[in-house]
Homo-oligomer: A and B are copies of this chain.
Amino acid sequence: MNLDQIFNAAQEAFLFYKNLPGKEKGEFLEGLAEILEENRAEIVPLAVEESNLPDGRINGELGRTIGQVRLFANLIKEGSWVEATIDPALPNRTPLPRADIRRFLTPLGPVVVFGASNFPLAFSTAGGDTISALAAGCPVIYKAHPAHPKTSHKVADCIHQAILKAGLPSALFTHVEGGISEGQALVKHPLAKALAFTGSHTGGKALFDLANQREEPIPVYAEMGSVNPIFCFPEKLKKENDALAKAFVGSLTLGVGQFCTNPGLIFVPKAQAAAFEKAISDEFNDIASAPMLHPGIAEAYYNSLQLLQSREELRWVKVADPQHLINGSTALAEIKASDWLNDHIFQKEVFGAFAMMVVYQNEEELQEIAKHLHGQLTITVWAEHEELQNQLYFINLLEEKCGRLLFKGVPTGVEVGNAMQHGGPYPSTTDARSTSVGAYAIKRFARPIAFQDMPDELLPDALRNDNPLGIWRMVDGEWKK
């Protein structure tokens, strides 16, 4: 099929699929969840082979992927996500009567999804972007990531089995392989109505620009990662130096540092810097170097580090050791906050298990740092309870720079739930108003439409007088079920 055929078929599938009851769409997704589970024994070895990630991680990732499918299935079977809002007619209002106006969310149309290399399952073929788009009512044209073609193909087969089982049009999901130019052609097609991407800043920004240059610009949800700073306060570090070093190194090196929420930047008070650095170094000794996703990623990691090694502001606590080029060895550099503040290059993401430890002098410097910081997916604050009492302004500043603010634990390990926000101010994403993980991700692929004086029997079920779906709706300003 050529591109026009693909998109025309997707558009016709869309016009049929979007009006199906949420219950039917949800059953289709439940069927997919089952099929993915049934194919676990085939999917896992392929993903392990193509990602160099260990069996345990990939098994867990498949579980997470299936959990996501079920989350969205439940969400659309319940149905309240459409924000049904009804202002009934007021025929006797003066000076003018009010018409009957009813609003809800309707799906955007065919969505182009780009898979991520670092999550061959959870952010790829049947990952969060694909599933939330399908849940919203949008067909997906999926551009497979070239790093894991066999895995992608296998999962695409599962999706087509689920489509067949549900009796839906096969054009609901199209698996497209190819390189950059194939991806660009998808984004340029007039029938594409939105675009989701997880990957590098360079890739995401290029797609964002392309989408905005279309005759009809379309929404772009590009999650481009960040350095996910951790701020350590003195008392906390004094009390828990070793435990925090362990937690930090665990998060930094998880999956060979190849997570969007990998903490690549840690701010440490001067008096505690030496002890903390020592504890980190000790932890590093326990970390075996492991292969990265593919040689290109390892090469980019070592190139980025090499560039930083020419900077005299940095003191290297541990230099990465590129003995096996595919392996991602840990690295840590230390810098004074005053130097760090002088150049934006020090907060550029290095994809891998590298962190920069920034040593700060006082609270004024902390505020300067917060103001200087780029947009992040997450920011973590490690402080004793009492240390936070005078930090309201600092916390206020941090809120402006991230999508998720943590006060315990580490940024890696993104919970899939209703309250999750995975997305933050630019450059961490191209649309801070959205999340790519959790229930709210579905809203990315919908837009509001209002019906004025539409005959009741033509209205979507979500908006009919008798509320046949039994969903939460705002009627005349009040939430009702």
Contacts and interface: CB of A to CB of B under 8 A. Distances in A.
Contacts of A149: none
A320 interface: no
A216 B405 contact: no
Contact of A418 (B392, B454, B477): B477
Nearest to A375: B216
19 contacts: A15-B396, A15-B397, A18-B396, A80-B479, A87-B418, A87-B420, A103-B418, A219-B431, A219-B433, A403-B448, A405-B452, A406-B453, A407-B455, A418-B474, A421-B450, A432-B447, A433-B446, A433-B447, A479-B479
Interface stretch (A126-134, A154-162, A231-239, A408-416): A408-416
Interface string A94-121: 0010110111001011000000000000
Q: How large is the interface on A (under 10, 10 to 19, 20 to 34, 35 or more residues)?
A: 35 or more
A448 to B, nearest CB: 5
A393 B15 contact: yes
A4 to B, nearest CB: 14
A426 interface: yes
Interface in A158-198: none
Contacts of A18: 396
Nearest to A423: B448
A472 interface: yes
Nearest to A460: B399
Report how many copies the assembly holds. Answer: 2
Contacts of A250: none
Contact of A421 (B388, B404, B435, B448): B448
A247 to B, nearest CB: 13
A381 to B, nearest CB: 9
A146 to B, nearest CB: 27
A261 B454 CA distance: 18
A311 interface: no
B216 A426 contact: yes
A402 interface: yes
Interface in A284-342: none
Contacts of A418: 85, 87, 103, 474, 476-477
B409 A99 contact: yes
Contacts of A474: 418-419
Nearest to A219: B433
Nearest to A450: B421
A107 B427 CA distance: 18
A106 B353 CA distance: 32
Nearest to A84: B419
Interface in A382-405: 385, 388, 392-393, 395-397, 399-400, 402-405
A87 B419 contact: yes
A342 to B, nearest CB: 18
A449 interface: yes
B99 A455 contact: no
A347 B420 CA distance: 43
A208 interface: yes
A448 B435 contact: yes
Contacts of A435: 448
Given A453-B406, A453-B407, A103 B448 contact: no
A419 B388 contact: no
Given A409-B452, A455-B385, A400 B433 contact: no
A406 B452 contact: yes
A458 interface: yes
Contacts of A395: 458
Given A415-B98, A419-B101, A455-B388, A208 B219 contact: no
Contacts of A451: 404-407
A217 B430 contact: yes
Tell which of A98, A212, A402, A427 has the most Cβ of chain B within 10 Å. Answer: A212
A209 interface: yes
A430 B446 CA distance: 15
A449 B479 contact: no
Contacts of A249: none
Q: Which of A86, A101, A448 has the most CB of B within 10 A?
A: A448
Contacts of A455: 385, 388, 407
